[in-house]
Structure 1
Amino acid sequence: MGAYYGSIHIRSTDTEEIVEIVKRLAAQEKLKFLISPCINGWISVYSSEKGQNPTVITVIAQQFSGHLINLILYHDDFFYYEYYRGHQLINVYSSEPEYFGTISKEEKERLGGKPEVFADLLAELPNNQTTIEEIAEVLIVRSEEERAEVYQRSLEILKRLQSDANSSDMSELPYDEVFQAAKQFSDFAKLFNISNASTCYEYLQDNEDEEIERWSEFVHIPDPAI
């Protein structure tokens, strides 16, 4: 089973403001949340349901006018983001726009991502070295033919390793190519200096001792109905 990651990253240093917004949201949607301290200028919000509830980002964006990025990795199969600024959805991207079914050409184009919209955000990041070109490169998805080639190469490597009783070196397997969506997800977060993206509410609850930056400072907001 692939990984499910889902979290919202808010460009703010005011943790108290975000906590109050999320408390109201928890009562409204009957969800539980974990909120990180401000790390590198970002406050991260993790909701139950593995961060996959689409209502959460829209409600927060209605009440916060700054930069918000919703990052989702679905089953290691596709990477998805939403970028809000000024209460508006500015850009959305999916590495597999037809994962759940056929969509129109216009909708596919809408889900293609527009790296140039991040120019204002990049300008606000201290000591920023990220370029629009680097963002665009991360969003490139391999063709079906290229993915088939990677799959076939992986099978050949596995067969060879299995036939060699003395070999246990799995480093030859092209993991970053096979799980391209996971690499896209990780690389995209790094470009914006976002910490603790590769997790979700449930993983955090189950693994409090994992290497999550400043875990002890996270704020827990339970479902008010419990």
Structure 2
Amino acid sequence: MTKFENESNRERLEKIIRTDIAPKLISLGGEQPEGFTEKLVTEGKLKSFAKDQYLEESKDFEDGKLLYLVSGIARTVYFTPGTNKMVIPRIWKKGEVIFDAKSFKNETTRIESVQALEEGEAIIFTFKSLKLLMGDYSKKMAVFLLCLQEERESYALYYQDLLKLSVDDKVERYLRDNPGIEHRINKDIIALYLDISRSKFSSAYAKHKEKQLSLLQL
């Protein structure tokens, strides 16, 4: 695995936390406790990553991280036992939080890896740092983790509904919900995420482009 490079300075990290992350946390659970934002700056690290770089691998609990995508796109991926089939349960975008809550809570081995699909930046909190934050700001962190769990449940329902659609509708909806993503990442990855063959994706994508062109001509 390629290591992170180009660690950014504290000032940039603090600016992102104060202008981007802190307002989101306030909207979830009211004003921040005294010293909480400063603790986030102390415990977090802002690092850049390259395309195809692994941001996290399926390893022991001690190596776990919470990643906030400042920019870029990433995927979580794992291989099914026995068949060794690659599964992509989610493709992540700017502003989303990648976090294995089950591993963090139960201190168990993580089965999923996180790989960048284009270059970008992420703010990283190790599981050790999260434990410290839980100890010092238990109420605030509990609200955050509950909201994160709600987001995961909502996404799971969205993904289940997505997979129930026909191939054409599946591709149409995903591209509509994620405009331009097919120009940023490999289409093979989108097909795998949607659990369809590459040939079926290509056919559905051609229909999608025809539909978009016809709308532009109206």
Say which structure, 1 or 2, has more relative contact order (CA 8 Å, 6+ apart).
1
Larger helix proportion of the pair:
2
